[in-house]
Amino acid sequence: MEERAKAVEIPADKLKSVINPWLLGADPEFAIFTPPRRIFNQGEFSCNFDATSGAGQVGHDHGGRVWELRPTPAQSSYALLMNIWRLLGDPLMQPVERFKWKSGGLADEDTIGGHVHFGFRDWKPGQLESLSGVTTNLERLDILPSGEGPARRQVNPEYGNLAGQRSSGGHVEYRAPASWLDRPGQALAVLTTYKLAALEPTSTAWRRQNIKTDYLDWVALMSQRDVDAFILWRLIEKRGLEAVQADPNTDFRPNWRKADLWA
């Protein structure tokens, strides 16, 4: 399965073209449902574990109601995506394999987040402003969920506000986005976009009235310099923007089990 999941054509000269010098991390959350109740990450369904091969951990928040992935950070957003894929497919997740896994921004009374971590100690001028604008624009493109993203901020304004951030452990964390686990392509788009926006904040001045064209032109331009942008650009070119868009009402688990991870 892993070899198939990695079956994206990447020219050899692109493989080392990661332009950010720092590590990228994330702790995306999700909820698990079996009608008419939620499945908590505790008791008989507990999946808190240290995964093998340095793949990271699965934990919980909100008293176990919300599940949380803690993948090993990587310089490449594609490599980070593969670490997420390994966690979601770990045999220790088998107890909840038969239930619905929900991403997005809301699960009953709980908010769900897709925090992104950057491996530098302090924010530089313009970075948070750029990331806030990127969040709004990704919601306009429905790459972050256009409905549940803003709704999450209304439910918990402090937790999901556009400039939400935290510094700890020698890195910074951007906390505004809803979760982005609906499909692997969406995760790649969100992680890559935030990575490059943090690296070059002034590059993301996309026009609201022309947001789709401006965003795709930006990805295409960045693809000439960064391997993650190249993979994202090839995916959108081949499958269309819908391959990276949100679908928070879906059961996202099957999307991470397909032989073609981008389908």
pLDDT for res 14? 60
CA 222, CA 19: separation in Å to the nearest integer? 10
72-110 pLDDT, tens digit per residue, is: 999 999 999 999 999 999 888 888 999 999 999 999 889
Contact 17, 11 (CB under 8 A): no
State both tokens at 119: 């491996």
Under the banding of pLDDT at 50, 70 and 90, the label for residue 10 is low
Dihedral (CA of 252, 128, 228, 21) sign: negative
What average pLDDT does this structure show over 36-59?
66
- Tell me: pLDDT of 7 over 80: no
Q: Which of 135, 99, 39, 118 is nearest to 253 (CA)?
A: 99
pLDDT score for 4: 39
Q: What angle do CA 64, 68, 72 make, to 5 degrees?
A: 145
Q: What are the strands, taking DSSP E only, across the chain?
A: 24-34, 37-39, 49-50, 56-61, 66-71, 100-102, 106-107, 110-111, 114-118, 165-168, 171-174
Please state, in angstroms and rounded to a whole number, the distance separating the CA atoms of residues 73 and 24: 5
Q: How far apart are the first and last CA of the chain?
A: 14
Q: Which two tokens stand for residue 236?
A: 């959108």
**Over the stretch 124-157, which tens digit does the pLDDT of each residue have?**
999 999 999 999 999 999 999 999 999 999 998 8
Average pLDDT over the chain reads 89
More confidently predicted of 90 and 29: 29
- Compute the distance between CA of residue 22 and CA of residue 178 in angstroms, rounded to an integer: 23
pLDDT recorded at residue 169? 81
d(C-alpha 92, C-alpha 257), whole Å? 15
pTM of the model: 0.91
How is the chain split into domains, by residue range? Answer: 2-256
Q: What is the pLDDT of residue 57?
A: 83
| DSSP class of 249 | T
pLDDT category at 62 given cuts 50, 70, 90 is confident
CA–CA separation, 218 and 157 (whole Å)? 30
